[in-house]
Structure 1
Amino acid sequence: MKKISTKLLYIMPVVALIAFYACKPIASKFSSPVGYDLEHPEKFNMPESLLEISGIAFYKGMPDTIYSIQDEEGSVFRQKWDVKTQKNVRFAGKGDYEDIAIFNEKVFVLKSNGHLYSFPFSETVKEKAENVKERKKLVPKGEYESLYADPETNKVYVLCKSCPVDKKKKTSTGYVLNYDLKLDSLIPESSFSIDLEQIKALNPKLKASLSPSALTKNPKTKEWYILASANKLLVIADENWKVKEVHRLNSSIYNQPEGIAFDKDMNLYISNEGDELTNGNILRFKYSTSVKK
Protein backbone atom coordinates (compact mmCIF):
# COMPACT_ATOMS: atom_id res chain seq x y z
CA MET A 1 0.00 0.00 0.00
CA LYS A 2 2.90 2.35 0.87
CA LYS A 3 4.56 1.70 -2.49
CA ILE A 4 1.35 2.58 -4.37
CA SER A 5 0.96 5.80 -2.33
CA THR A 6 4.57 6.81 -3.07
CA LYS A 7 4.01 6.29 -6.80
CA LEU A 8 0.87 8.38 -6.68
CA LEU A 9 2.82 11.23 -5.09
CA TYR A 10 5.04 11.31 -8.17
CA ILE A 11 2.29 10.77 -10.74
CA MET A 12 -0.32 13.22 -9.49
CA PRO A 13 1.71 16.44 -10.12
CA VAL A 14 2.47 15.24 -13.65
CA VAL A 15 -1.23 14.53 -14.31
CA ALA A 16 -2.16 17.93 -12.88
CA LEU A 17 0.42 19.63 -15.11
CA ILE A 18 -0.92 17.85 -18.23
CA ALA A 19 -4.50 18.79 -17.29
CA PHE A 20 -3.45 22.43 -16.79
CA TYR A 21 -1.90 22.74 -20.26
CA ALA A 22 -4.74 20.78 -21.87
CA CYS A 23 -7.27 23.30 -20.52
CA LYS A 24 -5.13 26.34 -21.28
CA PRO A 25 -6.09 27.92 -24.65
CA ILE A 26 -3.36 27.69 -27.29
CA ALA A 27 -2.26 31.09 -28.59
CA SER A 28 -3.16 31.38 -32.26
CA LYS A 29 -0.45 32.32 -34.75
CA PHE A 30 -3.16 34.12 -36.73
CA SER A 31 -4.53 37.53 -35.83
CA SER A 32 -7.22 39.97 -36.97
CA PRO A 33 -7.66 43.74 -37.22
CA VAL A 34 -10.00 45.44 -34.76
CA GLY A 35 -13.64 44.86 -35.70
CA TYR A 36 -13.09 41.62 -37.64
CA ASP A 37 -12.51 37.95 -36.88
CA LEU A 38 -10.52 36.61 -39.82
CA GLU A 39 -10.75 33.05 -38.47
CA HIS A 40 -14.56 32.81 -38.64
CA PRO A 41 -15.98 34.04 -41.95
CA GLU A 42 -19.29 33.46 -43.68
CA LYS A 43 -18.42 31.59 -46.88
CA PHE A 44 -20.08 31.90 -50.28
CA ASN A 45 -18.85 29.26 -52.75
CA MET A 46 -18.63 30.39 -56.35
CA PRO A 47 -20.04 28.64 -59.44
CA GLU A 48 -17.61 26.94 -61.84
CA SER A 49 -17.52 30.09 -64.01
CA LEU A 50 -15.86 31.92 -61.12
CA LEU A 51 -13.43 29.22 -60.02
CA GLU A 52 -10.63 31.69 -60.73
CA ILE A 53 -12.34 34.69 -59.14
CA SER A 54 -10.00 37.61 -58.72
CA GLY A 55 -11.09 41.16 -57.83
CA ILE A 56 -14.41 42.10 -56.18
CA ALA A 57 -16.25 45.42 -55.79
CA PHE A 58 -19.55 47.03 -54.80
CA TYR A 59 -21.54 49.81 -56.41
CA LYS A 60 -21.52 52.69 -53.89
CA GLY A 61 -20.81 50.15 -51.17
CA MET A 62 -24.24 48.53 -51.49
CA PRO A 63 -23.96 44.86 -50.44
CA ASP A 64 -27.00 43.61 -52.37
CA THR A 65 -24.89 42.81 -55.45
CA ILE A 66 -21.27 41.67 -55.68
CA TYR A 67 -19.35 42.56 -58.86
CA SER A 68 -16.32 40.44 -59.68
CA ILE A 69 -13.89 39.39 -62.37
CA GLN A 70 -11.89 36.25 -62.98
CA ASP A 71 -8.41 36.24 -64.38
CA GLU A 72 -9.06 34.62 -67.76
CA GLU A 73 -12.28 36.14 -69.11
CA GLY A 74 -12.82 39.76 -70.09
CA SER A 75 -16.17 39.84 -68.29
CA VAL A 76 -17.59 41.50 -65.20
CA PHE A 77 -19.86 39.17 -63.19
CA ARG A 78 -22.67 40.14 -60.84
CA GLN A 79 -24.63 38.09 -58.32
CA LYS A 80 -26.49 38.28 -55.02
CA TRP A 81 -24.84 37.04 -51.83
CA ASP A 82 -25.18 33.27 -51.49
CA VAL A 83 -26.87 32.94 -54.90
CA LYS A 84 -24.59 31.05 -57.28
CA THR A 85 -26.45 32.11 -60.42
CA GLN A 86 -24.45 34.91 -62.02
CA LYS A 87 -24.90 37.25 -64.96
CA ASN A 88 -22.06 38.91 -66.77
CA VAL A 89 -21.14 41.58 -69.28
CA ARG A 90 -18.23 41.10 -71.68
CA PHE A 91 -15.92 44.09 -72.08
CA ALA A 92 -12.84 42.50 -73.72
CA GLY A 93 -11.34 39.24 -74.97
CA LYS A 94 -9.45 36.65 -72.96
CA GLY A 95 -6.62 37.99 -70.81
CA ASP A 96 -5.15 38.19 -67.33
CA TYR A 97 -7.56 40.49 -65.46
CA GLU A 98 -6.73 41.08 -61.81
CA ASP A 99 -8.85 43.71 -60.04
CA ILE A 100 -12.01 45.79 -60.35
CA ALA A 101 -13.22 49.15 -58.99
CA ILE A 102 -16.51 51.01 -59.42
CA PHE A 103 -16.88 54.77 -58.96
CA ASN A 104 -18.30 57.85 -60.68
CA GLU A 105 -20.71 55.58 -62.59
CA LYS A 106 -17.76 53.81 -64.23
CA VAL A 107 -16.40 50.30 -63.96
CA PHE A 108 -12.60 50.03 -64.03
CA VAL A 109 -10.75 46.74 -64.55
CA LEU A 110 -7.00 46.27 -64.15
CA LYS A 111 -5.07 43.93 -66.40
CA SER A 112 -1.85 42.38 -65.08
CA ASN A 113 0.25 44.43 -67.53
CA GLY A 114 -1.07 47.69 -66.05
CA HIS A 115 -3.65 48.45 -68.76
CA LEU A 116 -6.94 49.79 -67.46
CA TYR A 117 -10.32 49.13 -69.05
CA SER A 118 -13.39 51.21 -68.27
CA PHE A 119 -17.03 51.36 -69.33
CA PRO A 120 -20.25 52.93 -67.97
CA PHE A 121 -21.72 51.17 -64.94
CA SER A 122 -25.13 51.28 -66.68
CA GLU A 123 -23.77 48.73 -69.17
CA THR A 124 -23.25 46.02 -66.54
CA VAL A 125 -26.80 44.79 -67.30
CA LYS A 126 -25.94 44.19 -70.97
CA GLU A 127 -24.40 41.10 -72.54
CA LYS A 128 -21.61 43.18 -74.07
CA ALA A 129 -20.34 46.61 -73.04
CA GLU A 130 -20.43 49.05 -75.96
CA ASN A 131 -18.47 52.06 -74.67
CA VAL A 132 -15.23 50.45 -73.53
CA LYS A 133 -11.98 52.36 -73.20
CA GLU A 134 -8.62 50.61 -72.95
CA ARG A 135 -6.06 52.90 -71.32
CA LYS A 136 -2.39 52.06 -71.83
CA LYS A 137 0.93 53.48 -70.61
CA LEU A 138 -0.55 55.10 -67.51
CA VAL A 139 1.90 53.19 -65.30
CA PRO A 140 5.41 51.84 -66.01
CA LYS A 141 5.91 48.32 -67.32
CA GLY A 142 5.49 45.73 -64.61
CA GLU A 143 3.08 43.21 -63.12
CA TYR A 144 0.02 44.63 -61.35
CA GLU A 145 -2.84 43.04 -59.41
CA SER A 146 -4.14 45.77 -57.08
CA LEU A 147 -6.57 48.57 -57.93
CA TYR A 148 -8.54 51.02 -55.79
CA ALA A 149 -10.69 53.99 -56.88
CA ASP A 150 -11.46 56.62 -54.24
CA PRO A 151 -14.82 58.37 -54.80
CA GLU A 152 -13.94 61.06 -52.23
CA THR A 153 -10.81 62.25 -54.04
CA ASN A 154 -11.39 61.06 -57.62
CA LYS A 155 -8.04 59.30 -57.48
CA VAL A 156 -7.22 55.81 -58.74
CA TYR A 157 -4.45 53.77 -57.09
CA VAL A 158 -2.51 51.00 -58.85
CA LEU A 159 -0.05 48.96 -56.79
CA CYS A 160 2.81 46.87 -58.21
CA LYS A 161 3.00 43.17 -57.62
CA SER A 162 6.39 42.98 -59.31
CA CYS A 163 7.98 46.03 -60.95
CA PRO A 164 11.57 46.77 -62.05
CA VAL A 165 11.70 49.80 -59.73
CA ASP A 166 11.40 47.50 -56.70
CA LYS A 167 13.84 44.79 -57.78
CA LYS A 168 16.83 45.97 -55.75
CA LYS A 169 14.86 47.58 -52.94
CA LYS A 170 12.62 46.27 -50.18
CA THR A 171 9.64 48.30 -51.40
CA SER A 172 6.32 47.94 -53.18
CA THR A 173 5.68 50.90 -55.46
CA GLY A 174 2.30 52.23 -56.50
CA TYR A 175 0.94 54.96 -58.73
CA VAL A 176 -1.78 57.56 -58.28
CA LEU A 177 -3.94 58.59 -61.23
CA ASN A 178 -6.28 61.56 -61.14
CA TYR A 179 -9.68 60.99 -62.75
CA ASP A 180 -11.20 63.89 -64.67
CA LEU A 181 -14.94 63.23 -64.66
CA LYS A 182 -15.79 65.75 -67.41
CA LEU A 183 -13.19 64.39 -69.81
CA ASP A 184 -13.48 60.77 -68.62
CA SER A 185 -9.70 60.85 -68.46
CA LEU A 186 -7.06 59.35 -66.17
CA ILE A 187 -3.94 61.47 -65.66
CA PRO A 188 -0.79 60.17 -63.91
CA GLU A 189 -0.22 62.29 -60.82
CA SER A 190 2.34 60.76 -58.44
CA SER A 191 3.86 57.60 -57.01
CA PHE A 192 4.22 56.14 -53.53
CA SER A 193 6.06 53.24 -51.94
CA ILE A 194 5.57 50.85 -49.04
CA ASP A 195 8.70 50.13 -47.02
CA LEU A 196 8.64 46.35 -46.66
CA GLU A 197 11.22 46.38 -43.88
CA GLN A 198 8.36 47.65 -41.71
CA ILE A 199 6.69 44.24 -42.08
CA LYS A 200 9.72 42.50 -40.61
CA ALA A 201 9.96 45.11 -37.87
CA LEU A 202 6.42 44.25 -36.78
CA ASN A 203 6.97 40.50 -37.08
CA PRO A 204 10.62 39.32 -37.22
CA LYS A 205 9.48 35.86 -38.35
CA LEU A 206 8.23 37.27 -41.66
CA LYS A 207 10.28 38.18 -44.71
CA ALA A 208 10.40 41.76 -45.96
CA SER A 209 8.36 40.87 -49.04
CA LEU A 210 4.78 41.36 -50.14
CA SER A 211 3.75 40.75 -53.81
CA PRO A 212 0.34 42.46 -53.34
CA SER A 213 -2.70 40.77 -54.86
CA ALA A 214 -5.44 43.28 -53.89
CA LEU A 215 -5.95 46.69 -52.32
CA THR A 216 -8.78 48.59 -50.64
CA LYS A 217 -9.32 51.39 -48.14
CA ASN A 218 -11.18 51.09 -44.84
CA PRO A 219 -13.98 53.70 -45.22
CA LYS A 220 -14.01 54.45 -41.50
CA THR A 221 -10.34 54.56 -40.50
CA LYS A 222 -8.98 55.47 -43.97
CA GLU A 223 -6.33 52.79 -43.53
CA TRP A 224 -5.10 50.78 -46.49
CA TYR A 225 -5.82 47.04 -46.46
CA ILE A 226 -3.35 45.18 -48.69
CA LEU A 227 -3.65 41.46 -49.48
CA ALA A 228 -0.69 39.27 -50.36
CA SER A 229 -1.85 35.95 -51.76
CA ALA A 230 1.53 34.24 -52.08
CA ASN A 231 2.61 35.18 -48.55
CA LYS A 232 -0.87 34.74 -47.01
CA LEU A 233 -0.79 38.17 -45.38
CA LEU A 234 -3.12 41.07 -44.72
CA VAL A 235 -1.08 44.24 -44.29
CA ILE A 236 -2.63 47.42 -42.90
CA ALA A 237 -1.01 50.79 -43.57
CA ASP A 238 -1.96 54.32 -42.59
CA GLU A 239 -2.96 57.02 -45.09
CA ASN A 240 0.73 57.70 -45.79
CA TRP A 241 1.48 54.03 -46.49
CA LYS A 242 3.32 53.38 -43.22
CA VAL A 243 2.74 49.76 -42.20
CA LYS A 244 0.84 49.56 -38.89
CA GLU A 245 -0.27 45.92 -38.68
CA VAL A 246 0.55 42.59 -40.30
CA HIS A 247 -1.87 39.66 -40.01
CA ARG A 248 -0.99 36.14 -41.13
CA LEU A 249 -3.84 34.35 -42.91
CA ASN A 250 -4.75 30.73 -42.26
CA SER A 251 -4.09 28.75 -45.46
CA SER A 252 -6.91 26.33 -44.58
CA ILE A 253 -9.34 29.27 -44.94
CA TYR A 254 -7.53 31.38 -47.52
CA ASN A 255 -6.72 29.18 -50.48
CA GLN A 256 -5.57 32.00 -52.77
CA PRO A 257 -6.80 35.44 -51.61
CA GLU A 258 -7.06 37.66 -54.69
CA GLY A 259 -9.74 40.28 -53.98
CA ILE A 260 -10.75 42.56 -51.11
CA ALA A 261 -13.51 45.13 -50.54
CA PHE A 262 -15.67 46.82 -47.90
CA ASP A 263 -19.39 47.45 -48.14
CA LYS A 264 -21.12 50.57 -46.77
CA ASP A 265 -21.83 48.77 -43.48
CA MET A 266 -18.09 48.25 -42.88
CA ASN A 267 -18.30 44.52 -43.53
CA LEU A 268 -15.10 43.14 -45.07
CA TYR A 269 -15.02 40.72 -48.02
CA ILE A 270 -12.10 38.63 -49.32
CA SER A 271 -12.30 36.48 -52.46
CA ASN A 272 -10.29 33.29 -52.93
CA GLU A 273 -9.39 31.65 -56.21
CA GLY A 274 -10.13 27.92 -56.29
CA ASP A 275 -8.21 24.97 -57.69
CA GLU A 276 -8.71 21.29 -58.57
CA LEU A 277 -9.84 20.49 -55.01
CA THR A 278 -11.34 23.77 -53.76
CA ASN A 279 -14.15 26.01 -55.00
CA GLY A 280 -13.54 29.67 -55.56
CA ASN A 281 -15.26 31.62 -52.81
CA ILE A 282 -15.99 34.97 -51.21
CA LEU A 283 -15.60 35.30 -47.45
CA ARG A 284 -17.59 37.89 -45.50
CA PHE A 285 -16.52 39.25 -42.12
CA LYS A 286 -19.22 41.14 -40.26
CA TYR A 287 -17.96 44.31 -38.63
CA SER A 288 -18.36 44.30 -34.86
CA THR A 289 -17.23 46.85 -32.29
CA SER A 290 -16.89 44.01 -29.77
CA VAL A 291 -14.13 42.26 -31.74
CA LYS A 292 -10.70 43.27 -30.44
CA LYS A 293 -7.22 42.41 -31.66
Structure 2
Amino acid sequence: MNRLIIGLLLLLASCGPSSKKTDKPEAETLEAPFKLPYELGKPVENYTLPKELKEISGLTYFKDDKLLCVQDEEAVVYVFDTKKGKIASDYGFGGYGDFEGIEYVNDEVYVLESNGNLFRFKPESTQIGRTKTDLPEKTEVEGLGYDPKTKRLLIAVKQGKGSADKAVYSFDLLNKAVFRDMSLNDEQLKAAGIDPETYKPSGIAVHPVTGDWYILTSAGKRLVITSRQAKIKYSEPLDPKLFRQPEGICFAPNGDLYIASEGDGKKGYILKFAYSR
Protein backbone atom coordinates (compact mmCIF):
# COMPACT_ATOMS: atom_id res chain seq x y z
CA MET A 1 0.00 0.00 0.00
CA ASN A 2 2.82 2.40 0.88
CA ARG A 3 4.50 1.63 -2.45
CA LEU A 4 1.28 2.62 -4.31
CA ILE A 5 1.04 5.97 -2.50
CA ILE A 6 4.71 6.74 -3.15
CA GLY A 7 4.28 5.92 -6.84
CA LEU A 8 1.28 8.26 -7.16
CA LEU A 9 3.19 11.09 -5.46
CA LEU A 10 6.13 10.67 -7.85
CA LEU A 11 3.78 10.72 -10.85
CA LEU A 12 2.11 13.95 -9.70
CA ALA A 13 5.49 15.58 -9.09
CA SER A 14 6.66 14.76 -12.64
CA CYS A 15 3.59 16.53 -14.12
CA GLY A 16 3.95 19.68 -12.04
CA PRO A 17 6.19 22.76 -12.16
CA SER A 18 8.62 21.35 -14.75
CA SER A 19 6.04 22.09 -17.51
CA LYS A 20 6.85 25.81 -17.18
CA LYS A 21 10.12 25.23 -19.02
CA THR A 22 8.21 24.74 -22.30
CA ASP A 23 6.52 28.17 -22.24
CA LYS A 24 8.79 29.39 -25.06
CA PRO A 25 8.19 27.64 -28.40
CA GLU A 26 11.10 25.42 -29.41
CA ALA A 27 11.17 27.00 -32.90
CA GLU A 28 12.30 30.31 -31.38
CA THR A 29 15.43 28.79 -29.90
CA LEU A 30 16.31 26.07 -32.39
CA GLU A 31 15.84 26.30 -36.16
CA ALA A 32 15.98 23.28 -38.42
CA PRO A 33 19.08 23.11 -40.68
CA PHE A 34 18.51 24.76 -44.05
CA LYS A 35 19.20 22.79 -47.21
CA LEU A 36 19.62 24.89 -50.35
CA PRO A 37 17.38 23.39 -53.06
CA TYR A 38 19.84 24.33 -55.82
CA GLU A 39 23.32 23.31 -56.94
CA LEU A 40 24.83 26.73 -57.56
CA GLY A 41 27.89 25.23 -59.17
CA LYS A 42 25.86 23.32 -61.75
CA PRO A 43 23.53 25.45 -63.90
CA VAL A 44 21.24 23.44 -66.15
CA GLU A 45 21.22 26.22 -68.77
CA ASN A 46 23.51 29.11 -69.70
CA TYR A 47 21.93 31.79 -71.90
CA THR A 48 24.33 34.19 -73.61
CA LEU A 49 22.75 37.61 -74.05
CA PRO A 50 22.97 39.95 -77.05
CA LYS A 51 24.90 43.23 -76.93
CA GLU A 52 21.76 45.16 -75.87
CA LEU A 53 21.93 43.36 -72.53
CA LYS A 54 25.66 43.45 -71.90
CA GLU A 55 24.92 45.63 -68.86
CA ILE A 56 21.90 43.64 -67.65
CA SER A 57 20.84 44.87 -64.21
CA GLY A 58 17.60 43.04 -63.50
CA LEU A 59 15.25 40.31 -64.69
CA THR A 60 11.84 38.87 -63.86
CA TYR A 61 9.76 35.92 -65.02
CA PHE A 62 7.28 36.88 -67.75
CA LYS A 63 5.64 33.78 -69.21
CA ASP A 64 6.60 30.34 -70.54
CA ASP A 65 10.17 30.43 -71.91
CA LYS A 66 10.32 34.23 -71.59
CA LEU A 67 12.03 36.59 -69.17
CA LEU A 68 11.85 40.38 -68.95
CA CYS A 69 15.23 42.09 -68.67
CA VAL A 70 16.42 45.65 -68.13
CA GLN A 71 19.86 47.15 -68.44
CA ASP A 72 21.11 50.00 -66.29
CA GLU A 73 21.48 52.84 -68.80
CA GLU A 74 18.48 52.73 -71.11
CA ALA A 75 14.71 52.83 -70.44
CA VAL A 76 13.93 49.72 -72.44
CA VAL A 77 12.50 46.40 -71.26
CA TYR A 78 13.62 43.43 -73.34
CA VAL A 79 11.70 40.17 -73.69
CA PHE A 80 14.29 37.39 -73.80
CA ASP A 81 13.14 34.07 -75.25
CA THR A 82 15.07 31.35 -73.43
CA LYS A 83 13.99 28.67 -75.90
CA LYS A 84 15.26 30.58 -78.94
CA GLY A 85 18.11 32.30 -77.09
CA LYS A 86 17.33 35.76 -78.42
CA ILE A 87 15.33 38.93 -77.81
CA ALA A 88 11.73 38.45 -78.92
CA SER A 89 10.58 42.07 -78.51
CA ASP A 90 11.19 45.19 -76.44
CA TYR A 91 9.24 48.01 -74.78
CA GLY A 92 10.57 51.52 -74.34
CA PHE A 93 9.32 53.50 -71.35
CA GLY A 94 11.37 56.71 -71.36
CA GLY A 95 14.81 58.06 -72.05
CA TYR A 96 17.94 57.40 -70.03
CA GLY A 97 18.55 56.75 -66.35
CA ASP A 98 20.04 54.27 -63.94
CA PHE A 99 17.64 51.31 -63.92
CA GLU A 100 18.43 48.55 -61.44
CA GLY A 101 15.45 46.24 -61.06
CA ILE A 102 12.36 44.91 -62.78
CA GLU A 103 9.28 42.96 -61.70
CA TYR A 104 6.20 41.70 -63.54
CA VAL A 105 3.09 41.78 -61.32
CA ASN A 106 -0.59 41.47 -62.23
CA ASP A 107 0.01 42.06 -65.97
CA GLU A 108 2.08 45.20 -65.27
CA VAL A 109 5.81 45.84 -65.54
CA TYR A 110 7.56 47.74 -62.74
CA VAL A 111 11.06 49.11 -63.26
CA LEU A 112 13.16 50.49 -60.39
CA GLU A 113 15.50 53.44 -60.74
CA SER A 114 18.54 53.63 -58.44
CA ASN A 115 17.03 56.67 -56.65
CA GLY A 116 13.92 54.67 -55.74
CA ASN A 117 11.56 55.93 -58.45
CA LEU A 118 9.25 53.31 -59.94
CA PHE A 119 8.08 53.22 -63.55
CA ARG A 120 4.93 51.25 -64.33
CA PHE A 121 3.31 50.19 -67.60
CA LYS A 122 1.52 47.34 -69.32
CA PRO A 123 3.35 45.62 -72.17
CA GLU A 124 2.49 47.18 -75.54
CA SER A 125 0.80 50.14 -73.82
CA THR A 126 1.76 53.78 -74.40
CA GLN A 127 0.72 54.86 -70.91
CA ILE A 128 3.67 55.09 -68.54
CA GLY A 129 3.28 55.75 -64.83
CA ARG A 130 6.04 57.09 -62.57
CA THR A 131 5.97 57.03 -58.77
CA LYS A 132 8.38 58.56 -56.27
CA THR A 133 8.77 56.18 -53.35
CA ASP A 134 10.11 58.83 -50.93
CA LEU A 135 12.93 56.73 -49.55
CA PRO A 136 15.38 58.40 -47.12
CA GLU A 137 17.82 60.84 -48.73
CA LYS A 138 21.06 59.48 -50.19
CA THR A 139 19.63 55.97 -50.39
CA GLU A 140 20.80 53.96 -53.39
CA VAL A 141 18.70 50.93 -54.30
CA GLU A 142 19.51 48.07 -56.63
CA GLY A 143 17.03 45.25 -56.26
CA LEU A 144 13.31 44.86 -56.95
CA GLY A 145 11.15 41.87 -56.00
CA TYR A 146 7.54 41.07 -55.16
CA ASP A 147 6.05 39.31 -52.16
CA PRO A 148 2.64 37.84 -53.09
CA LYS A 149 1.77 37.26 -49.44
CA THR A 150 1.89 40.97 -48.57
CA LYS A 151 1.16 42.17 -52.14
CA ARG A 152 4.10 44.55 -51.91
CA LEU A 153 7.11 45.25 -54.08
CA LEU A 154 10.41 44.73 -52.24
CA ILE A 155 13.14 47.34 -52.68
CA ALA A 156 16.63 46.29 -51.57
CA VAL A 157 19.03 49.04 -50.47
CA LYS A 158 22.53 48.82 -51.90
CA GLN A 159 23.81 51.74 -49.87
CA GLY A 160 22.19 54.09 -47.38
CA LYS A 161 22.75 56.10 -44.24
CA GLY A 162 21.71 55.17 -40.72
CA SER A 163 18.66 52.93 -40.50
CA ALA A 164 18.34 52.86 -44.30
CA ASP A 165 21.58 50.91 -44.65
CA LYS A 166 21.17 47.13 -45.16
CA ALA A 167 17.41 47.54 -45.23
CA VAL A 168 14.66 46.23 -47.48
CA TYR A 169 11.74 48.59 -48.06
CA SER A 170 8.39 47.58 -49.46
CA PHE A 171 5.96 49.46 -51.65
CA ASP A 172 2.28 48.71 -51.12
CA LEU A 173 0.71 48.53 -54.58
CA LEU A 174 -2.79 49.22 -53.25
CA ASN A 175 -2.10 52.19 -50.96
CA LYS A 176 1.01 53.47 -52.80
CA ALA A 177 2.85 53.68 -49.48
CA VAL A 178 6.42 52.78 -48.50
CA PHE A 179 7.31 50.66 -45.46
CA ARG A 180 10.63 49.67 -43.92
CA ASP A 181 10.17 45.92 -44.01
CA MET A 182 13.37 44.35 -42.81
CA SER A 183 16.95 45.22 -41.90
CA LEU A 184 20.01 43.13 -41.16
CA ASN A 185 22.68 44.28 -38.73
CA ASP A 186 26.44 43.75 -38.78
CA GLU A 187 26.32 41.16 -35.97
CA GLN A 188 23.87 38.99 -37.93
CA LEU A 189 25.97 39.23 -41.06
CA LYS A 190 29.22 38.37 -39.29
CA ALA A 191 27.56 35.40 -37.54
CA ALA A 192 26.58 34.11 -41.00
CA GLY A 193 30.15 34.52 -42.28
CA ILE A 194 29.36 37.65 -44.31
CA ASP A 195 31.60 40.73 -44.37
CA PRO A 196 29.21 43.67 -43.70
CA GLU A 197 31.35 45.88 -45.95
CA THR A 198 30.61 43.67 -48.97
CA TYR A 199 26.91 43.22 -48.23
CA LYS A 200 25.50 45.43 -50.97
CA PRO A 201 22.40 43.80 -52.48
CA SER A 202 22.10 43.85 -56.26
CA GLY A 203 18.93 41.75 -56.54
CA ILE A 204 16.08 40.31 -54.49
CA ALA A 205 13.37 37.73 -55.20
CA VAL A 206 10.81 35.77 -53.20
CA HIS A 207 10.76 32.01 -53.61
CA PRO A 208 7.35 31.00 -55.05
CA VAL A 209 7.17 27.78 -53.00
CA THR A 210 8.82 28.50 -49.64
CA GLY A 211 8.31 32.28 -49.40
CA ASP A 212 11.96 32.81 -48.42
CA TRP A 213 13.72 35.98 -49.53
CA TYR A 214 16.74 35.39 -51.80
CA ILE A 215 19.12 38.35 -51.78
CA LEU A 216 21.94 38.57 -54.31
CA THR A 217 25.08 40.63 -53.67
CA SER A 218 27.35 41.54 -56.56
CA ALA A 219 30.17 43.19 -54.60
CA GLY A 220 30.63 40.23 -52.26
CA LYS A 221 29.41 37.64 -54.80
CA ARG A 222 27.09 35.88 -52.40
CA LEU A 223 23.55 34.54 -52.10
CA VAL A 224 21.83 35.30 -48.79
CA ILE A 225 18.50 33.72 -47.84
CA THR A 226 16.37 35.27 -45.12
CA SER A 227 12.92 34.95 -43.62
CA ARG A 228 10.44 37.84 -43.59
CA GLN A 229 11.39 38.27 -39.93
CA ALA A 230 14.97 39.34 -40.80
CA LYS A 231 16.58 36.02 -39.83
CA ILE A 232 19.40 34.80 -42.02
CA LYS A 233 18.58 31.19 -42.88
CA TYR A 234 21.44 30.49 -45.27
CA SER A 235 24.39 32.10 -47.01
CA GLU A 236 26.65 30.82 -49.77
CA PRO A 237 29.54 32.48 -51.65
CA LEU A 238 29.26 32.44 -55.43
CA ASP A 239 32.05 31.22 -57.67
CA PRO A 240 33.44 34.38 -59.37
CA LYS A 241 34.28 32.33 -62.46
CA LEU A 242 30.64 31.32 -62.83
CA PHE A 243 29.12 34.58 -61.58
CA ARG A 244 31.22 37.39 -63.02
CA GLN A 245 28.96 40.22 -61.86
CA PRO A 246 25.61 38.90 -60.54
CA GLU A 247 22.97 41.62 -60.85
CA GLY A 248 19.54 40.03 -61.30
CA ILE A 249 17.59 37.18 -59.77
CA CYS A 250 14.13 35.68 -60.32
CA PHE A 251 12.16 32.44 -60.12
CA ALA A 252 9.88 30.51 -62.44
CA PRO A 253 6.54 29.52 -60.84
CA ASN A 254 7.84 25.95 -60.35
CA GLY A 255 10.82 27.20 -58.33
CA ASP A 256 13.55 27.12 -60.99
CA LEU A 257 16.10 29.86 -60.30
CA TYR A 258 17.55 32.38 -62.77
CA ILE A 259 20.58 34.59 -62.02
CA ALA A 260 21.83 37.21 -64.48
CA SER A 261 25.36 38.58 -64.66
CA GLU A 262 26.70 41.62 -66.45
CA GLY A 263 29.32 41.03 -69.09
CA ASP A 264 32.19 42.75 -67.22
CA GLY A 265 33.95 43.31 -70.53
CA LYS A 266 32.31 40.30 -72.16
CA LYS A 267 28.73 39.35 -73.05
CA GLY A 268 26.06 39.28 -70.36
CA TYR A 269 24.45 35.95 -69.52
CA ILE A 270 21.72 34.24 -67.48
CA LEU A 271 22.20 30.98 -65.58
CA LYS A 272 19.31 28.65 -64.80
CA PHE A 273 19.29 26.29 -61.80
CA ALA A 274 16.76 23.49 -61.37
CA TYR A 275 14.66 23.45 -58.20
CA SER A 276 15.10 20.32 -56.12
CA ARG A 277 12.49 19.89 -53.39
Normalised-by-shorter TM-score class: 0.7 to 0.9
Q: What is the identity, as a one-letter code, of the residue corresponding to 1:193?
A: S
Structure (1 or 2) with the greater strand fraction:
2
In structure 1, distance between residues paired with 2:192 and 2:64: 33
Paired residue for 1:157, among 137, 147, 154? 154
Q: With structure 2 as the length reference, what TM-score do the two structures score?
A: 0.81
Shift of 1:220: 1.5
1:175 aligned residue: 169
SS at match of 1:54: strand
Mapping 1:1-293, distance limit 5 Å: 34-41=36-43, 42-59=45-62, 62-82=63-83, 83-120=85-122, 124=123, 126=124, 129-141=125-137, 142-166=139-163, 172-180=166-174, 186-203=176-193, 206-209=194-197, 210-276=199-265, 278-289=266-277
Shift of 1:138: 2.9
In structure 2, distance between residues paired with 1:269 and 1:87: 20
Taking a change above 3 Å as real, the CA distance of residues 35 and 191 of structure 1, as seen in their structure-2 partners, is closer
Retained in 2: the 8 A contact 1:257–1:270?
A: yes
2:4 aligned residue: none
CA RMSD in angstroms comes to 1.8
Tell me the number of residue pairs that the alignment of Structure 1 and Structure 2 aligns.
240
Q: What is the identity, as a one-letter code, of the residue corresponding to 1:80?
A: D
SS at match of 1:130: coil
Q: With structure 1 as the length reference, what TM-score do the two structures score?
A: 0.77
In structure 1, distance between residues paired with 2:36 and 2:168: 26
Taking a change above 3 Å as real, the CA distance of residues 196 and 269 of structure 1, as seen in their structure-2 partners, is farther
Shift of 1:72: 0.7
Q: What is the identity, as a one-letter code, of the residue corresponding to 1:176?
A: S
Retained in 2: the 8 A contact 1:143–1:163?
A: yes
Structure 1 unmatched ranges of 5 or more: 1-31
In structure 2, distance between residues paired with 1:241 and 1:110: 23
Shift of 1:166: 4.8
Shift of 1:33: 5.3
In structure 2, distance between residues paired with 1:33 and 1:254: 21
Structure 2 unmatched ranges of 5 or more: 1-33
In structure 2, distance between residues paired with 1:202 and 1:152: 26
Retained in 2: the 8 A contact 1:156–1:176?
A: yes
In structure 2, distance between residues paired with 1:50 and 1:77: 8
